[in-house]
Amino acid sequence: MSVAAIGIIWKAPQPGRSKTRLAPAIGDLAASELSACFLRDVAASIEAVPETLGRRGYGVYAPAGAEHIMRRLLPAQFGLLLQAGDDLGHVLLGATRTLLEVGHDCVLLVIGLKYPHGHLFTRIAWGTETIARATCERAVEIGLATTLLPEWYDVEISKPCVGSRRSKPGIRPVFTAADLLQRAGRFFRPCRK
């Protein structure tokens, strides 16, 4: 049976090192705890894909030495792969190459690939709101077909409120929702829409 590798690119949740743009609004510790919830929710969505369809989850993590954090948060059957590269483009390309080399038929990270396409990950402004559009444009430039999946959920921050919104029906982000509810009275008020 063919097996697709489904990887989560993630910084191990550590205060001051993860979700640093979120931290000014809620603090380093709360940001790292919320990051752990995000990670567990994404992993749960991967686990919801039936194994009979041929999938294996991976945590593609940084920094080195944080394996114990990732192992504690991810399902036991997930593989771990240390990130390699200077920027997200290099990390994506390196993870794609490694997971294809170990025998997976397809690798799904931010995007799904059957071959490593180095040019797809170059000249992208990582960490900006233009990543998806720029990556799709790059795919067209090098002759790759693209299909966008629906958004799952997002956490919005407008100081002093934080809220979660779901844009499409699907698997509920239970860890994130529980964490946000627990923190609601202590750190911020829920956003009203």
Could you tell me if residue 119 is inside a domain? yes
Q: What is the pLDDT of residue 81?
A: 95
Could you tell me if residue 171 is inside a domain? no
Interval 144-163: pLDDT, tens: 887 766 665 555 554 444 44
Q: What is the pLDDT of residue 181?
A: 59
Could you tell me if residue 175 is inside a domain? no
Would you say the pTM of this structure is higher than 0.85?
Answer: no
Q: What is the pLDDT of residue 109?
A: 74
Interval 125-146: pLDDT, tens: 776 777 778 888 888 888 888 7
Could you tell me if residue 158 is inside a domain? no
Could you tell me if residue 86 is inside a domain? yes
CATH of the domain at 121: 3.90.550.10
pLDDT, mean over the chain? 78
Segment 168-193 mean pLDDT: 57
Could you tell me if residue 82 is inside a domain? yes
Interval 26-78: pLDDT, tens: 889 988 998 898 899 889 888 888 888 888 999 999 999 999 999 999 999 99
Q: Can you give the residue range of the structural domain that contains 105?
A: 4-147
HEC string of the chain? CCCEEEEEEEECCCCCCCCCCCHHHHCHHHHHHHHHHHHHHHHHHHHCCCHHHCEEEEEEEECCCCHHHHHHHCCCCCEEEECCCCCHHHHHHHHHHHHHHCCCCEEECCCEECCCCHHHHCCCCCCCCCHHHHHHHHHHHCCCCCCCCCCCEEEEEECCEEEEEECCCCCCCHHHHHHHHHHHHHHCECCCC
Give me the number of domains the chain comprises: 1
Could you tell me if residue 61 is inside a domain? yes
Could you tell me if residue 176 is inside a domain? no
